[in-house]
Amino acid sequence: MKYPLAIFDFDGTLANSLPCSVEILKRLSDQHGFRRIEDHELESLRTADIKQFLKYLGIPFWKLPQLVLQVRSAMSEVAHEIPLFPGIVEFLDETTSAGTELAIVSSNSWENVKTILGPENVSKFRYTECEASLFGKRPKLRKVLRQAGVTADQAIYIGDEIRDLQAAHAEGIAFGAVTWGHTPRDLFRPHYPRDVFESVESMTNHVLGR
């Protein structure tokens, strides 16, 4: 099936911004008094969902909005240095040339997304909904569907976290899980994603119905 609309998470899906986020959290740990992430813990923390991650670091939910704002602000200072994953630029070119409309639903700021993508790549996205709360992507997805004038079964949401999958499923949207971001492949399986993408090439073929 070729999807008329492909919606993307941004961090960990299109942009390799997770290393930057980790370094920012390390700096903020002293200011806020939560546990500092050590390099040897990074791989094991990939198996934690967002709630488990926050509990492990000792970050209370009431502090989360302030922390997210600080991470976005700190990222804006180095956003021009954050790369897209290899193959993403070619993917954007191929899918838009084939007539697929692209959208972003992200917890990051629009300014950071624009800077990281760059003018040429950002122009390929017809719809953008940024600054979603960490557990608030569902209404953003619904808004994009309404703006695009498509039904849920005509779209796919592609991301790298279980919370992305849950938001998509809640709206009846197919979900494609990428394995190059936060969450390892095996953790997605019990949640029944439509597909799991090991490479940008396999993602391209799925979106274009090849």
C-alpha distances out from residue 99 to 65, 94, 121, 124, Å:
37, 9, 15, 11
Cα distance between residue 127 and residue 201, in whole Å:
23
CB distance 137 to 11 below 8 Å:
no
Please report the pLDDT score of residue 93 as a whole number.
Answer: 97
> Which DSSP symbol is given to 104?
E
CB distance 11 to 18 below 8 Å:
yes
Residue 46 exposure: Cα atoms within 13 Å on the Cβ side: 19
Please report the pLDDT score of residue 112 as a whole number.
Answer: 98
Please report the pLDDT score of residue 61 as a whole number.
Answer: 83
pLDDT averaged over 10-residue windows placed end to end, the chain, 210 residues: 93 95 90 84 77 85 88 96 97 96 97 97 97 91 97 97 95 96 89 92 93
Please report the pLDDT score of residue 152 as a whole number.
Answer: 97
pTM of the model: 0.92
Q: Where are the domains of the chain?
A: 5-16+82-207, 18-80
Please report the pLDDT score of residue 47 as a whole number.
Answer: 75
The pair of three-digit structure tokens given for residue 139, joined into one six-digit string: 């209404």
Please report the pLDDT score of residue 54 as a whole number.
Answer: 84
Q: Which CATH superfamily is domain 5-16+82-207 in?
A: HAD superfamily/HAD-like (3.40.50.1000)
